[in-house]
C-alpha cells in the first residue's frame, strides 16, 4: 500500500491534482459571489470563508511531515511547498476581503483599525510573517540563504499557527462561539506537539549514547 501511494504521489499527475484541489475553494467563492449564493451578507461570507481556508491549508501544510513520517510516504514532501504557498494565497485573499469590504481600501482607516483592534493586529502580523516564507519557498532562495538559515526562517510557521488561532479566538470572542476555534487549536496543537516530541527524542538520543 505504501509503495502504491508513494508511486502515485511521485507521478506527474499528483501536483496538478493537488493544485486543483487546493485552488477549487477560491473558484467556488468567485462563482458563488457572482451567482449571489453567499447569503444575505456576501462580504462577511467571503471574509469568513477565506479565513477558514487559510486555517485549513495551514493544517494541511503542518500535517505533511507527520503523515510522511508515520505513514511512510516520503513522496508527500513534493506537495509541501505548494501547500505553503496556498496558505499565503488564502491569507492574502482574507486580508484583501477585509481591506475591500470592511475598509474600502482606505489605508489610513486600515492603519487605525490595526492599531485599535488586537485581533486585526495579530492577523496582520501573521500575514507579514508569512510573506518572507512565501518569497523564500523556492530552491534558489534555499541555496542563497543556506540550509540552516532557511530552516530557521521557515520555523516561523509555528509562531504563525499560534497567531492564526489567537486571531480566530479574538474574532469569535464577541459572539462567544469557540467551537471551531477549539477544533483548529486541537488539530494544530497535535501537529505541533508531534514535532516537539520528535525534537525532544532527537535531543535525548545523543545524550543516551554519550552516557552509555
Nearest CA to 66 among 80, 54, 53, 52?
80
- pLDDT at residue 75 greater than cutoff 50: yes
CA angle 100, 117, 92 (to 5 degrees): 40
| Mean per-residue pLDDT, 192-211 | 76
| Mean per-residue pLDDT, 52-59 | 97
Average confidence score pLDDT of the chain: 92
* Beta carbons within 8 Å of 137's beta carbon, 6+ residues apart: 81, 84, 85
Q: Between helices 156-173 and 147-154, what is the axis angle to 10°?
A: 10
Confidence (pLDDT) at 5 = 87
Please identify which residue in the block is written with the cell numbers 482607516. Answer: 109
Share of the chain above pLDDT 70, in %: 96
Question: Is the distance from CB of 76 to CB of 67 less than 8 angstroms?
Answer: yes
Confidence (pLDDT) at 19 = 97
Confidence (pLDDT) at 209 = 46
Confidence (pLDDT) at 205 = 63
| Mean per-residue pLDDT, 148-160 | 94
How many Cβ atoms are within 10 Å of 12's Cβ, its own excluded?
Answer: 6
The whole-model pTM stands at: 0.93
Distance CA 161, CA 158 (A): 5
- pLDDT at residue 28 greater than cutoff 60: yes
Amino acid at each position: 500500500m505504501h509503495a502504491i501511494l508513494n508511486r502515485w504521489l511521485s507521478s506527474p499527475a499528483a501536483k496538478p491534482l493537488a493544485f486543483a484541489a487546493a485552488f477549487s475553494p477560491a473558484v467556488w467563492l468567485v462563482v458563488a459571489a457572482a451567482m449571489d449564493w453567499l447569503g444575505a451578507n456576501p462580504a462577511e461570507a467571503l471574509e469568513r470563508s477565506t479565513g477558514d481556508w487559510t486555517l485549513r491549508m495551514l493544517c494541511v501544510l503542518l500535517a505533511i511531515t507527520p503523515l510522511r513520517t508515520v505513514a511512510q510516504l516520503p513522496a508527500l514532501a513534493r506537495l509541501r511547498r505548494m501547500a505553503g504557498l496556498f496558505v499565503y494565497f488564502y491569507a492574502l485573499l482574507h486580508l484583501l476581503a477585509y481591506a475591500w469590504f470592511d475598509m474600502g481600501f482606505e489605508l489610513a482607516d486600515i492603519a487605525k483599525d490595526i492599531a485599535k483592534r488586537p485581533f486585526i493586529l495579530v492577523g496582520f502580523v501573521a500575514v507579514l510573517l508569512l510573506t518572507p516564507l512565501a518569497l523564500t519557498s523556492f530552491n534558489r532562495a534555499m541555496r542563497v540563504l543556506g540550509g540552516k538559515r532557511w530552516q530557521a526562517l521557515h520555523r516561523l510557521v509555528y509562531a504563525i499557527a499560534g497567531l492564526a488561532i489567537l486571531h480566530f479566538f479574538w474574532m469569535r470572542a464577541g459572539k462567544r462561539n469557540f467551537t471551531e476555534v477549539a477544533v483548529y487549536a486541537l488539530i494544530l496543537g497535535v501537529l505541533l506537539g508531534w514535532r516537539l516530541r520528535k525534537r525532544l527524542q532527537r535531543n535525548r538520543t545523543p545524550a543516551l549514547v554519550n552516557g552509555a
